[in-house]
Chains A and B, each alone.
Chain A
Amino acid sequence: MWLDTLALMPVLLLVVAGLLIIVLDSLDNDSPVLPWVALLGLLGALVLELNRLGGGGRFLFEGLLRVGGFSAYVNAVLLLGGIATVIFCRAYLPRIWHAHGEVYALVLFALVGMMVMAASYDLVLTFLGLETMSVALYVLTGLAREDVRANEAAMKYFLLGAFATGFVLYGLAFLYGTTGTTRLDLLPTRIPNTPLFWVGVGLLLVGFLFKIAAVPFHMWAPDAYQGAPTPIAGFMATASKAAAMSALLLLLGHGLGLVRPQWADVLAVVAALSMIVGNGAALMQGEVKRLLAYSGIAHVGYALVGIASASASGYAGALFYLLAYASAALGAFGVAALWEQRPDRQLPAEDLSGLGRRHPLLGALWVLFLLSLVGFPPLAGFMAKYAVFAAAVQAGKIWLVLIGVITSMISAYYYLRLCVLIWRPVEAHPLPSSGQLASGVLLLTSALLLWLGLWPSGVLELVGRFFEDSGLVLR
């Protein structure tokens, strides 16, 4: 058992770093060391996770959770998100007068919840991870307490999130009642064909779809992102979605892998709706963070196309998509955070004008991130979309691919509009808050996007290895 505990070292590192931050913060309020402590923990955890990326997973605690392989990959994505978030927060929070030390601890603890979700093979543990993540994010959303919009965002997110949690628990109860287990490794052999079981699965799905902000459970996302501090919005849009998506993948692909036909079509409909509604609504947005929120909803739809294909290549595509989307979205939110100047923390699209001239590097990166979100070759977004669409074609869901391609083309309109906008000459706008570290992270992210787009085979092969050929069971 001690060995099992040691295998959880990355998570433990984050917990220890979080506790350390709390203690240090109580000794020296809002000390500038705190982000560095957080970064140290995150980097350590990232190294450990990358180290066991290639090997197969290993069950711990009598099958409660599994580290390495699948979870190592997802955790690496989450940790990347965490690192970027901490660095952006370090540049952004002092400007809105909210450089509280606790923020870093909360980000770390949220990551603990997410990483547990990605490793969990027991729905009870998944639920606990989900709650840890959610509670930390509710608080972070409402960070700017003096701002009405932040309060609205936190309140909406909290109330709806609590409601979604209720759905998850309700569904979990039915699942347990009808199968007698919450373990994903025992679930496949115990699936009864009673309506109550499917009611449970449905309720569970509602909860998870809420957390990843898929249509029709997406209403909270734009308001929450708009009210939250911008780097935190980026964190919510990438890491929390990746964690919930991986938990969904474990539940559907592993636990319910044998009854794929029953849920694949439902997910396909959700994916289609997310792509249509997300992209459609994004067309009409004037505020950048709202726009990015709707684009996030659309991208969840694309990733769900992979899961809805219900095949090994589809799952692998979804995993690849998570990484590609996370890098691009983190970058976009990062640039937005650095450029944002208004005291009410809004970033109307017009404010972007001047970005390209005042700060050419930031402008170029902004274009790169948005192009990747469009799915422009040779960037990561293109390869990711290709991967999920190819899987969907193999699975015979041509209509889904058609919707995906058409909505991608529509999305190009609003993304490109934002790209063009930044080159308009406006000299009045002050320089963005410089953060050399933040710029460095942005550069690294864009390099990742290019690498994933040009040489995707390495990562694609890696994520492909997590699934058996039948696509049934995660390895």
Chain B
Amino acid sequence: MAFESLQPKLLLLAAALLALFTMAAYTVYFERRISAWIQNRIGPNRVGPFGLLQPLADVLKLLFKEDIAPAAADRLLHRLAPMISVTAAVATIGVLPFAHNLILADVNIGILYILAITSLNVYGITLSGWASNSKYALLGGLRSSAQLISYEIAMGLAVLSVVVQSESLMTSQIVEAQAEIWNVLRNPLGFLIFLITAFAETNRLPFDLPEAEQELVAGYHTEYSSMKFGMFYVAEYMNVVLSSAVITTLFFGGYLVPFGHLFMSDLPAWARTGLEVLSFFGKTGFFVFVFIWVRWTIPRFKYNQLMRLGWVYLFPLAVLNLVLVALARMLF
């Protein structure tokens, strides 16, 4: 392939990465601000106007910290684990459609690619837990691998119900299939299941058992410091952003502008694309807010409750939902 033909893709990649990292960094900031607001505090407001430069300061601080690894740690894996976490998080953007025809790789199995990549997330966490050679970290890693695997099944089934509705595995076509009506209205149960499993897959409250402070100090990243810790931190927030983006794509019409068919056709191409990108990131931003909102609303599950919810309720419900959706598809 010639370099020239790749150029627009590379440009898009750079832009998408930049947007992702910025969003992840500012999700941290907004989480602190919103949690402060919910708890009737003020939150970070010292660095820059409204504290907007806080993420930058955090990163600089982390970079200057000493990089410590426990003496009995497995050096190689200890170093590798955060990299896996970040890589697995970043790789998802490859198949996300930001606007019509604005997608890095519109492969015909896009949605499965997302599932495959999220399923790798667990390696970063499990390995960090094991390599640290510390009981808290190990317990966190084990909890996390059990949790991720349990919820992955319900998640996959929820995704499958969307695939049945849009008759395609391509992310772009899943979005286009929602031109008339968003999937959340056609498949509310599937959305609910996906939302819950997304919380579990990102290790966010109420499912943050792998890093439950009261029991496990900081769980799998107890023994991490400096930028290696920072990478886990960034990966977690990137996962929040990307899960929101996937929810948007699967259930909320992705880049489609609400009521767009009324006025979109009159606009020039650049404006249409711009509106679509705005719509995509707007919806994504909303779900990021939901993630933060839920964190300060619902307390943490106990481990047995977590497993029960995953296997006894969500899994059969997801199967039922898939059957119902398929039946509806067949009959109507």
Query: Do A and B contact each other directly (Cβ–Cβ < 8 Å)?
Result: no
Query: Using a CB–CB distance below 8 Å, which chain A residues touch chain B?
Result: none
Query: Using a CB–CB distance below 8 Å, which chain B residues touch chain A?
Result: none
